[in-house]
Amino acid sequence: MSKASWISDLSTDNTRLSNTSQDSSSPTSQRKSLHKRFKEKISHNPSLDRTLVSFQGNRDVPFYGWFKYREGFSEQLVKYLLMELMPRPGVLLDPFAGSGAALFAAGALGWQTKGIEVLPVGIFAMQARIVANRIHPGTLRSAVTQLSTINFSDYYSESYAFKHIAISRGAFPAAEERELIGYIGYCHQAIVDEDVRTLMLYAAFCVLEEISYTRKDGQFLRWDARSGRSLGGKPRHLGRIVPFREALDRKLTQMTEDLGLGVVQQWLFPEISLPTAQMPLPELIEGSCLTILPTMVDESFDFVLTSPPYANRYDYTRTYALELVFLGCDDEKVKQLRQTMLSCTVENRDKRAQLQQFYTSIGRERDFQNVEATFEHQEALQEVLTILDTYREKGKLNNVNVARLVRNYFYEMCFVIYELARLLKKGGIIAMVNDNVRYAGEEVPVDLILSDFAESFGLSTRHIWTLGRGKGNSSQQMGMHGREELRKCVYVWEKSYDG
C-alpha cells in the first residue's frame, strides 16, 4: 500500500496530474475540477498509518497469526473508526468482509454485524473464528494430543484428494501432499465434534504455503526451483519447505496456546469487551455483494465499514489458489469466482448484461438506469477512460485490457455505493479504505470519483482522510514516468437525517 509526505494542496495536485500524463496533451481539467470540489474534505489524519489500515496491524492479535490473510485492515482501525464516528453500538455491514476484521472487532464493542464475502477463503476463516470464540481450549488440546498416535496415511483416500488447477499443480512435495490428504481424511472420518474438526482442518489450511514450493508475493505465487516447474529467468530458492507434520504440530500448538488466553476480542479490547456469552456473532453471507445488497431492506444499517478490492489488477484467486483447492474448488469454480468477484483484474469481463437482467428480475430496472446514468455522467472518470482507451489504441498500455478493468471497476462500484446509500439509516456512516491507482502514468483519483458517486446518491462527504505517507507507484511506473505518490485514504460518507 510509500514514500514522501502527502501534501494536500491544489497547486501541487494539479502539477502531479500534469506530470503523470503520458502525453503532454492528455486532459486533466475534469480531475482538477473534481479535486477542487473536494479539496476541503481531504486532510491528513495523524491517527492513521499504513500499519493500521493493513493486515500488519493484526500481527499481534492471536487469531490473525494463524492464517496470513494480507488483504484487509486491522481490528484497531475498526475500533478507532467506530469510537470516533459512532460510539453507540448499532448494526454494522461489511459488504467485502474478507477474514472478518470489521465484524469481529465491532462485535466486541457490542455491534450486531453482517458480512458478505464471495471468496470461500474468507468465509472459512470467519467460520473458524466463530468456532474459536466458543470452543473450550481443553477440548481442542485433547484432540491435538491424540494426533501423536495417528498414522495419517491410514486415512488416505482419493475422495479427499485435491482437484488441482493449473496454478496449484505440483505445489507440494508428493509425500507431503499424501500426508496432508490423509490428515484431511482423518479429520472427516475420526473427529466427531464438528467444532474440533473445523479447527483441526483450519490448522492444515493455515500451513499450506509453508509446506509448498510457493510463496505469496503481491498478486502472484512465486515458485521455488525445487518444484521442477520451468520458471524461466533466475531460479528462486524460497527457503525451507517444512514437512507437513512439523508445520501442523507447530500451528496446532500456536492455536491451543492462543485460545488459552481467552476469547480473541477480550484479549484485544480488555477494557470494553463484553462477556463471551453476550458477544453478538456475525451473520455471514457467501456470495457477491452486487446481487446480495439489492435484496436487502432499505435503511437496515447504522454503519458500513469496508475495504473493497482495489483497482490494481490483484487477483485473489491466484494468490489464494492453494487455499481454494483445499476447500474443494476445481478449475471451473475458480474461473467462476474470478468473474463473480468485483472487477479488479484485466481478466474480468463486463457484468452489465447480468446486472441489468438481475435488477429487472427484482423489479428495479429504474434503479439500474439511475446508477448507469450516474456512472456515465461522472466527468473525471470519463476523462480517464477516454485517455486509457486512446493509450490502448496506440499500444501504450502494458495490457490491452487495463482500460476495461478501470471501466468495469467503477461501473460495479457505482452499483455498490448506490445500494449502500439505500441501506444506510438516516444519520448513518460509511467508512471505506481504498487506494488511488495509476496506469500508463495516468492517475485515477479513486477517492474523488467514488465520493462523487456517493454524493450523487444522497450522501455527503465528511472526510477523505489520507495517511501521512501515500502509496508509491510501481518500479515499472517509476522507470517510465518518474516517482509519484498516490493517496491512500479512508473515506467517510454520511446520510443526513433530513435527506
pLDDT at 270: 46
Q: What is the distance between the alpha carbons of residues 226 and 176, in angstroms, rounded to a whole number?
A: 14
| Rounded average pLDDT over 208-236 | 83
pLDDT at 222: 87
pLDDT at 21: 43
The answer on pLDDT for 10 being more than 50 is no
Q: How confident is the model at residue 469 (pLDDT cuts 50, 70, 90)?
A: low
pLDDT at 273: 47
Give pLDDT tens digits for 51-72: 777 766 566 677 888 998 878 7
The answer on pLDDT for 497 being more than 60 is yes
Look over the chain and give the mean of its residue pLDDT values, rounded to a whole number: 87
pLDDT at 18: 39
pLDDT at 230: 64
Residue 112: helix, strand or coil by DSSP? strand
Cβ–Cβ under 8 Å, residues 214 and 165: no
Q: Which domains does the chain have, with CATH numbers?
A: 10-118+264-314+348-494 (3.40.50.150), 133-259 (no CATH)
**DSSP state string for 187-255:** HHHH---HHHHHHHHHHHHHTTTTTSSEEEETTEEEE-GGG-----SS----S----HHHHHHHHHHHH
- Cβ neighbours for 105, distance < 8 A, ≥ 6 positions apart: 75, 76, 78, 79, 82, 265, 268, 269
Q: What is the distance between the alpha carbons of residues 428 and 41, in angstroms, rounded to a whole number?
A: 18
The answer on pLDDT for 445 being more than 60 is yes
Q: How confident is the model at residue 6 (pLDDT cuts 50, 70, 90)?
A: very low
pLDDT at 423: 98
pLDDT at 432: 97
The answer on pLDDT for 475 being more than 60 is no
| Rounded average pLDDT over 9-38 | 63
| Rounded average pLDDT over 453-478 | 77
239: left (phi over 0), alpha (psi -120 to 50) or beta: left
The answer on pLDDT for 26 being more than 80 is no
**Higher local confidence (pLDDT), 228 or 332:** 332
The answer on pLDDT for 7 being more than 60 is no
What b/e string do you get for 275-300 counting C-beta neighbours within 10 Å, with b at 16 or more? eeeebbebebbbebbbbbbbebeeee
Cβ–Cβ under 8 Å, residues 449 and 378: yes
Query: In this structure, is the dihedral angle defined by the CA atoms of residues 240, 242, 246 and 250, taken in order, positive or negative?
Result: positive
Q: Which residue, 19, 45, 37, 33, is CA-closest to 487? A: 45
